[in-house]
Amino acid sequence: MSADDPVARAVEVLLAGGLVGLPTETVYGLAVDASNPAAVARMFAAKGRPADHPVIVHLAEARAIADWAVDIPAAAWQLAAAFWPGPLTIILKRAPHVADAITGGQDTVGLRVPAHPVAHAVLAAFARARAGRPAGVAAPSANTFGRVSPTTAAHVREEFGDAVDFVLDGGQSAVGIESTIVDLSSGAARVLRPGRITAAQVAAVLGSAGAAGAVPSPVPRVSGALDSHYAPRTPTLLVAGADLPAWLDAHAGRRVALLSPAAPARDGVLHWPAPADAEVYAHALYATLRAMDAAGCDLIVVQAPPQGGAWDGVNDRLRRAAHPAPA
Ligand code: TXA
Ligand code: MG
């Protein structure tokens, strides 16, 4: 029966301690049962991820955060009501049963209720199967450590091959970049990772109480805050639009894959059009970087996008993709 029902099959694999490629509206996750230490260890090994990097626990509904966190502030329920299901992760004080492997040994846990209908169906069926016990699915982005995140089922299969037990196909992720992370575990809210939901939107919901700290401020314990994250294999650099013509002239001998709003009048440049809208840009970003990486050029050049709230997530990912600057 479950052979015909991918959601039921995914739940079976999770319950058996396996790894599932799970579509979400942000990026695809490499999902395991968060209460199964052996499964969590397999997931870390498949990703090649250092053990002290915490992973997000995905839940079917907001009220389940009480199964995973303690001392939950009113701000958590306010953000949950405003943005869940959706591309937001909330960091809270962890409940005692939450494994060190999930939290990276910290006293906090990251929680998210995704909006993708396939993810939601899996999480809801998983919760029913857990029959009242805490039901959480730990899922980092389904890329090997430091590489570009996947936004299609095919990307997940490319990254992991047989190391992933089952990949659910939920189409191309709508948001395209990882969730906004807001830390509510100590005092004022802080945005640890920008995403589709902006710091200004978070501050608007929390009012003056939460607004003060709601600005992007990456901390080292967020793995995405490491240098050289989300990186293509081809050396990648960001160039300001005003500098681009001169840069292309100075590098006329190089084969360049260029992501920019306007096609350049240059030979030897493969051009990908850069969307003018931040959400459209984010939606296509990782698939575009993968395609540019596969083009076999000497360099990937990205014309720096605009600055400002809606672009924070895109600019954050591009800065990491472009580090360190190639010679
Ligand atoms: O959109 C997303 O968030 C995707 C989808 C699959 O949900 N997941 C994702 O997971 O991006 P990952 O593991 O690639 O990134 C999660 C980030 C990491 O930077 C991790 O350090 C941070 O969340 N994180 C998780 N738990 C945390 C905690 N307790 N404190 C601070 N940062 C935490
Ligand atoms: Mg990641």
Which ligand is closest in space to the CA of residue 29?
A: 1
Atom number of ligand 1 nearest to Cα 112: 7
pLDDT-based confidence at residue 51 (cuts at 50, 70, 90): confident
Show the beta-strand stretches assigned E in 27-87: 29-33, 56-58, 69-70
The Cα 130–Cα 225 span in angstroms is 34
- Regarding the beta carbon of 173 and ligand 1, being less than 6 Å apart is answered no
Residue 2: its pLDDT value, please?
57
185 Cα to the center of ligand 2, angstroms: 21
Kindly tell me if the per-residue pLDDT of 187 is higher than 90.
no
- Regarding the beta carbon of 109 and ligand 1, being less than 6 Å apart is answered yes
Residue 218: its pLDDT value, please?
39
- Pocket perturbation via mutation, ligand 1, pick of 26, 55, 71, 123 by most ligand atoms within 8 A of CB: 55
pLDDT digits (tens, 9 = 90+) for 52-103: 899 999 999 999 999 999 999 999 999 999 999 999 999 999 999 999 999 9
- Regarding the beta carbon of 148 and ligand 1, being less than 6 Å apart is answered no
Mind listing the domains of the chain with CATH numbers? 6-206 (3.90.870.10), 236-324 (3.40.50.11030)
302 Cα to the center of ligand 1, angstroms: 25
- Regarding the beta carbon of 21 and ligand 1, being less than 6 Å apart is answered no
- Pocket perturbation via mutation, ligand 1, pick of 20, 32, 52, 56 by most ligand atoms within 8 A of CB: 56
The Cα 103–Cα 94 span in angstroms is 8
* Cα radius of gyration rounded to whole Å, the chain: 20
Copy the structure tokens of residue 8: 């039921």
- Regarding the beta carbon of 136 and ligand 1, being less than 6 Å apart is answered no
Return the higher-pLDDT residue of 7 and 1. Answer: 7
Which ligand is closest in space to the CA of residue 148?
A: 2
Q: What is the mean pLDDT of the chain?
A: 92
- Regarding the beta carbon of 143 and ligand 1, being less than 6 Å apart is answered no
Q: Directed axis angle between helix 117-130 and helix 6-15, to 10°? A: 50
Which ligand is closest in space to the CA of residue 180?
A: 1
257 Cα to the center of ligand 1, angstroms: 30
DSSP summary character for residue 149? P
pTM above 0.85, yes or no: yes
Kindly tell me if the per-residue pLDDT of 296 is higher than 50.
yes
Q: In 10 A of CB 148, how many CB atoms?
A: 25
What are the φ and ψ backbone dihedral angles of 211, each rounded to 5 degrees?
Answer: -70, -35
Q: In 10 A of CB 71, how many CB atoms?
A: 11
Q: Are 88 and 214 in contact (CB under 8 A)?
A: no
Atom number of ligand 1 nearest to Cα 110: 26
SS3 30: strand
pLDDT digits (tens, 9 = 90+) for 212-263: 444 444 333 444 444 456 789 999 999 999 999 999 999 998 999 999 999 9
- Regarding the beta carbon of 139 and ligand 1, being less than 6 Å apart is answered yes
- Regarding the beta carbon of 103 and ligand 1, being less than 6 Å apart is answered yes
Q: Find the farthest-apart pair of alpha carbons in the chain and give their distance in angstroms, rounded.
A: 64
Q: Residue 104 region, left (φ>0) first, then alpha (ψ -120 to 50), else beta?
A: left
Query: Which range (93-102, 113-122, 173-182, 204-213) has the least confidence?
Result: 204-213
Neighbours of ion ligand 2 (CB under 5 A): 141
The Cα 207–Cα 205 span in angstroms is 6
